[in-house]
A and B are shown apart, each in its own frame.
Chain A
Amino acid sequence: MPSDFRPPASTPRRTHFEVCVLPYLDAAYNLARWLTRDDADAQDVVQEAMLRAFRYFDSFRGGDARVWLLAIVRNTFYSLRAKGASDDAHESFDDDTHGLIDEQLSPEARVLLAVDVRALHAALGQLPHPLREAIVLRELEECSYKEIASITGQKIGTVMSRLARARERLKTELSRSSTEACRHDV
C-alpha cells in the first residue's frame, strides 16, 4: 500500500464520491479479499480500485454505484495479478470444456448433513477465480444474475452455469471433508 497516500482535497466532487461510493467499501473489500485470499493484497487492490474509481468518477453516470465499484475492483485485481505474474497468474478457465455441470457425484456425496464453516472457507478459497467471484457476488453480496453479469462482463447464461458449477464443487468438497471427519471419529 502506498504509505504516502493522501485522500484527495475536500471538494464537492469528493463529498459526492463519498456519498455514492464509500458505502460499498465493505463490498469492495469482501470481493478483493476473496479474490486475493490475503489481507495485505486485498487492501492494495481496494486502495488502487478506490483511486481508479475516484479518477473515473466523472464518467460514472448514476446507475448502481455498487456494481460500478465492484467491476473496478475486479478489473484492478486481474490487472495487478497479471503484472505480478505469479505462478497461477495464467490459470486458465474454459466455460465450454467443463460442461454445464460437473458429472462427478458419488452416492455418498449426495447428502450434505452439516456444513462446517471452516471447510466452506477452505473450499471457497480453492475454487477457480471465475467460479469464486460468481459465488461470492451471489451469496455474500446478494447480487442478481444481471448484476454479476455486468460486474464480470459475462453473459447471464454463463453466470448461471458458473454458479451451478461452483455450488456443485463446494458441495462435493464439503461432503468429502465431512465423510473424512466421520472416518476420523470412528
Chain B
Amino acid sequence: MMCDDARLLLHAYLDNELDASQSVAMEHHLRHCSACAAQHADFLQLRAAFTQASLYRRAPDALRVQWSFPEPTSAANAAPARTRRAPIALSMAAGFAAALLITLPAFYALHRHDNANLTVEEAISGHIRSMQPQHLMDVISTDQHTVKPWFAGKLDFSPRVKDLANAGFPLVGGRLDALDGHDVAALIYRRRLHVINLYQWPVSSETAAVSVSQQRGYTVIQWTDEHMRFVAISDVEESQLQQFVQLFRNDAVSPLMR
C-alpha cells in the first residue's frame, strides 16, 4: 500500500469500515510507515476529544416535555385540576389554609400535603418555562454579590444567595418568578449540562422538614429554614439534588444573611 492510499483509507480504518484484507494491509503499512502512523495517532487523539460530554448537545427539557405524552389516565385526571388552578384562587386557598392552621392541625396536615403537591406541579411548570430560550435568567452572573443586590427593590425580602461553584454547582444567575401565589426569587445553578432552579420566599413557619418528590423525570425538594421556604427542582439525579440542598442548607446554618 502506498502512502497516498493510506491517507484516505486511514479514516475508514479508524471508523472500522474496512474489510478484513484491507485492514490487514493498513496495519502492515502503519507498522512500517512512521508518517502514516503519526497521522493515525493524531486522529485517534482527535476521536478521544470528541468523547467530551460538552460536545454532545442534549435536547432541552422544554422540548422533551412537549413531546412526552403523559399516560392517558393521568392526563384525564390532570386536565380539570389545571383549570381550577387560577392564581387568585390559589392565594385565597393559601390564606384559608393559614387560618385553619390555628384551629385544625389535622386538617392542616392534610391540606398542606395537597398544597405541597400543588407546589411540585407549579415548580415543574416554572422550571420548564424557564428552559425556554431567553426565559431562564433576568440577571446573569456567577457572582453572588451581584445576584443578591439585583433582587433588592424587586422583592420585599432579601433572598439567600450562595455560590456553590467549588462543590460543582456554579451559580449562573437569577430571575423573578411566581410560585404558589407568591412572588419568589429564583436562583439558577448548573450541574454540568443540567439546570437547577431554586425558588425561595418568606413564610411564617420557622422550619419544616425536607420533603422530596419525583414527577415526570424531575426531582423537587422542599424545605423551610428560618422563615424562608425553599423549593429546588432539576432533572439531575435525585442524589445530586440532595447534595445541592445539603450544601445550600449547611451554609445557611452558619452566618447566613449576607
Task: Tell me the A residues contacting B by CB distance below 8 Å.
Answer: 1, 5, 7, 10, 14-15, 18, 22, 25-26, 28-30, 33-34, 39-40, 42-43, 46-47, 50, 100-101, 110-112, 114-115, 117, 120-121, 124, 138-140, 144-145, 160-161, 163-164, 167, 170-171, 174
Contact = CB atoms under 8 A, between A and B. Distances in A.
A70 to B, nearest CB: 13
Contact of A171 (B12, B43, B75, B134): B43
Contact of A117 (B15, B17, B55): B55
A140 B69 contact: no
Contact of A120 (B55, B59, B133): B55
B168 interface: no
A50 B48 CA distance: 31
Contacts of A1: 132-133
B17 A145 contact: yes
A30 B8 contact: no
Contact of A10 (B46, B47, B67, B69): B69
Contact of A115 (B7, B46, B69): B46
Interface in B134-153: 134
A149 B132 CA distance: 33
Interface string B25-50: 00000000000001100110111111
A160 B63 contact: no
A41 to B, nearest CB: 9
Nearest to A138: B15
Nearest to A10: B72
A160 B48 CA distance: 19
Nearest to A50: B67
Main secondary structure of the interface of B (DSSP, over half): helix
Interface in B49-76: 49-50, 52, 54-60, 62-64, 66-69, 72, 75
Contacts of A18: 67-69
B154 interface: no
Among A42, A101, A161, A167, which residue has the most Cβ atoms of chain B within 10 A?
A167
Could you say which of B11, B55, B68, B75 has the most chain A C-beta atoms within 10 Å of its C-beta? B11
5 contacts: A7-B67, A25-B59, A28-B59, A164-B7, A171-B46
Nearest to B54: A117
A171 B48 CA distance: 13
A39 to B, nearest CB: 6
Given A144-B15, A174-B46, 17 more contacts: A1-B132, A7-B66, A10-B69, A18-B68, A22-B68, A29-B63, A30-B56, A30-B57, A30-B58, A33-B57, A34-B57, A112-B42, A120-B49, A145-B17, A160-B11, A164-B10, A167-B46
Contacts of A47: 63, 66
A170 B48 CA distance: 13
B55 A121 contact: yes
A74 B60 CA distance: 19
A10 B72 CA distance: 7
A120 B54 CA distance: 11
Contact of A167 (B11, B56, B69, B72): B11
A101 B4 CA distance: 10
Nearest to B10: A164
B59 A110 contact: no
9 closest A-B pairs by beta carbon, nearest first, are A115-B49, A29-B59, A33-B57, A139-B50, A40-B133, A112-B42, A164-B11, A25-B59, A26-B58
With most chain A CB atoms within 10 A of its CB, the pick from B67, B69, B132 is: B67
Contacts of B63: 25, 29, 43, 46-47
A163 B14 CA distance: 11
Contact of B38 (A39, A50, A110, A139): A110
Contacts of B52: 117, 120
A140 B49 CA distance: 11
A52 to B, nearest CB: 13
